[in-house]
Amino acid sequence: MKLSVLIPVYNEEKTLDLIFAKVLELEKSPLIDELEVIAVDDCSKDNSLNLLKKYKSGGKIKLFHHENNQGKGAAVRTAMANATGDYVVFQDADLEYDPQDLLKMLGYAVKNDADVLYGSRFLGKKTSPLGKFHYFVNAGLTTLSNLLTGLKLTDMETCYKMFKGGILKEINIEEDRFGIEPEITAKVAKLCSVKDLKIDEMPISYNPRKSDEGKKIGAKDGLRAVYIILKYGFFG
């Protein structure tokens, strides 16, 4: 089983070494025959690119670099075009998500023959790790997305989205920023409907960071998400 982990990076020098140590640790799992780690530096202004070059020179990762900052969606698009795994998953470069959950997701996807698997930060939890405000924003966006896609997700905005390799090749990602989450969800829903593919969801852990710790998504991205849900939900 070959797993491709796609990591968009923008100004994450403080967390890169730890997150890559955690991701590269996955290769020791008997579930994975080959681990393909693809990092895309989106024109970082800090020391992120130099740190990434260290991993590339050691043969640990594939590295791509944007000469101009384009956004998370653009970085993911570059990584997607170069992924060759049997399963492909997204991984943020901060420490909000635990890469060990990717092994649980991979095992679940294989056992249940899931074509697409979302890692939910809320499923099976009595309290939200996001706090009340962000929880209600996320819940509102997910509910709106569900209404237009016909899905029954609890966390549309999650970073952890895992796909069988060939599926991503059929999805044309157009959004350059954080709007890729609702865009991918809308397009995956339509693809699953046409091809009778199985989309599923399972709980994952989550440790949110604050804006003063480097979190980049903001209120404008939430408003943009509403527009994107409506755009791709109605018009494809």
Mode of pairing for the β-strands spanning 116-120 and 62-65: unpaired
Percent of the chain residues topping a pLDDT of 90:
75
Mean pLDDT of 69-82: 95
pLDDT value at 216 more than 90: no
Q: How far apart are CA 45 and CA 11, in angstroms?
A: 6
Output the pTM of the full model. 0.91
The two three-digit tokens of residue 17, written as one number: 């070494």
Q: What is the pLDDT of residues 33-53, one digit of tens each?
A: 999 999 999 999 999 999 999
What does CATH list as the number for 2-235? Answer: 3.90.550.10
pLDDT digits (tens, 9 = 90+) for 128-151: 666 677 778 888 999 999 999 999
Residue 165 has pLDDT above 50, yes or no: yes
pLDDT value for 168: 87
Distance from C-alpha of 112 to C-alpha of 87, rounded to nearest angstrom: 14
DSSP string of 83-149, one letter each residue: ---SEEEE--SSSSS-THHHHHHHHHHHHHT-SEEEEESSTT-SS-TT-HHHHHHHHHHHHHHHHHH
With the CA atoms of 213, 214, 217 and 220 taken in that order, what torsion angle do they form, in degrees rounded to the nearest 10? 90
Rounded CA Rg of the chain: 17
pLDDT of residue 226: 87
Task: Quote the pLDDT of residue 35.
Answer: 98
Give yes or no for residue 214 having a pLDDT over 60.
Answer: no
What does the pLDDT read at residue 213?
Answer: 47
Average pLDDT over residues 55-81: 96
pLDDT in tens, 108-130: 999 999 999 999 998 987 666 66
- Give domain limits for the chain: 2-235
Q: Is the pLDDT assigned to residue 105 strictly greater than 80?
A: yes
Q: Would you place residue 87 in the very low, low, confident or very high pLDDT band (cuts 50, 70, 90)? A: very high
pLDDT at 169: 86
Q: What is the pLDDT of residue 114?
A: 96
Percentage of the chain surpassing pLDDT 70?
Answer: 90
Asked if residues 146 and 152 have their Cβ atoms less than 8 Å apart, the reply is yes
**If you average pLDDT over every residue of the chain, what do you get?**
90
Residue 178 has a pLDDT of 79
d(CA 47, CA 154): 36
pLDDT of residue 19 exceeding 60: yes
Question: Which band of pLDDT confidence, cut at 50, 70 and 90, is reported for residue 225?
Answer: confident
